Amino acid sequence: MDEYLSDQEQLDQVKAWLRENIPWIVIGVAAGALAVGGYRWWQARRDATDLAAAQRYQQVLNSFDGSNNTRGLEAVDQLVKDQPGSAYADQAELAAARVLLETGQLDRAAAYLTAVMEHSKDPELATAARERLARVQIAQGKPDAALATLGSTDQGSFQARFAEIRGDAYYAKNDRVDALREYRAARAAAGPAMAANDPLDLKINDLADEPAASAAASAGSQPLPKVN
């Protein structure tokens, strides 16, 4: 029915509506402005934090590349302390583990890998740390711990590598049957070998030949039949 109202009556309606609703409009605009301003402040703060973390991570790498491992490890620990949960802190701990492994410090390397595995917010980094930790535990003579570390959860793109490491753990336990099973599972997950003398194929062939070799040895140990 607004089309039957005079211009003045329509104008009065608009004014009345504005008087009633303008406070809520102002509040809505202010809230929106605060939200945008708050997001921009948070984004700027996060960008600055990420930049600082990236610079400190580069300092870690520079120290390790310069063979100043003591300084590099101190920088790693400080970065983790100041920015726990940062992807750069996770990467720094993985770098520390690599350096420690190169110098034979398996226990310290395992500690860094465990921290990334348990606390990283990045699933890929956590899984990579899990894989490396299992390898370290096998080197430490702890195959059962390695199997527990690997678990039985979905490994995604790590499936083939996890299966091969399980095979290594079973082999370390002198469990040839389960080792061969895991190696074959790794080959099935990884697909055909890309080159001759692939290490995984060598492991499979070595174990697959064992029953035949054992049977031949047993046959050779039997006394020869008498000739009449």
Residue 83: pLDDT over 80: yes
Contact 72, 100 (CB under 8 A): no
What's the number of domains the chain is made of? 2
Residue 81 lies in a domain: yes
**Where is pLDDT greater, at 214 or 78?**
78
What is the C-alpha separation between 130 and 105, in angstroms, rounded?
18
Residues 60 and 122 in one domain: yes
| Max mean pLDDT range (81-90, 145-154, 163-172, 199-208) | 163-172
Residue 201 lies in a domain: yes
Q: Give pLDDT, residue 144.
A: 96
Q: Give pLDDT, residue 26.
A: 58
Mutual orientation of helices 123-139 and 87-102 as an angle, nearest 10°? 20
When pLDDT is cut at 50, 70 and 90, the band that residue 36 belongs to is very low
Residues 82 and 125 in one domain: yes
Q: Give pLDDT, residue 7.
A: 59
Residue 175 lies in a domain: yes
CA of residue 49 relative to chain centroid, distance: 22
Q: Give pLDDT, residue 154.
A: 60
- The sign one gets for the Cα dihedral 192, 195, 200, 201 is positive
The DSSP line for 136-200 is HHHHTT-HHHHHHHH-SS--GGGHHHHHHHHHHHHHHTT-HHHHHHHHHHHHHHH-S-SSTT-HH
| Max mean pLDDT range (39-43, 153-157, 185-189) | 185-189
What is the C-alpha separation between 20 and 199, in angstroms, rounded?
79
CA nearest 85: which of 32, 132, 49, 138?
A: 49
Mean pLDDT, rounded, for 127-135: 94
Residue 44 lies in a domain: no
Mean pLDDT, rounded, for 165-184: 94
Contacts 24+ apart (CB under 8 A), 107-114: 107/140, 109/136, 110/136, 110/137, 110/140, 112/76
Residue 168 lies in a domain: yes
Residues 110 and 166 in one domain: no
Residue 209: pLDDT over 60: yes
Residue 225 lies in a domain: no
DSSP for residue 83 = S
SS3 label, residue 217? helix
Q: Give pLDDT, residue 175.
A: 95
pLDDT tens for residues 38-62? 434 334 445 556 677 888 888 888 9
Q: 67 is in which domain, residue-wise? A: 55-142
Looking at residue 82, which CATH number applies to its domain?
Answer: 1.25.40.10
Residues 79 and 136 in one domain: yes
Residue 141: pLDDT over 80: yes
Residues 164 and 192 in one domain: yes
Residue 130 lies in a domain: yes
Residue 138 burial class via C-beta count within 10 angstroms: exposed 0-12, middle 13-18, buried 19 and up:
buried
When pLDDT is cut at 50, 70 and 90, the band that residue 12 belongs to is low
When pLDDT is cut at 50, 70 and 90, the band that residue 183 belongs to is very high
Residue 18 lies in a domain: no
Q: Give pLDDT, residue 167.
A: 94
pTM (2 d.p.):
0.70
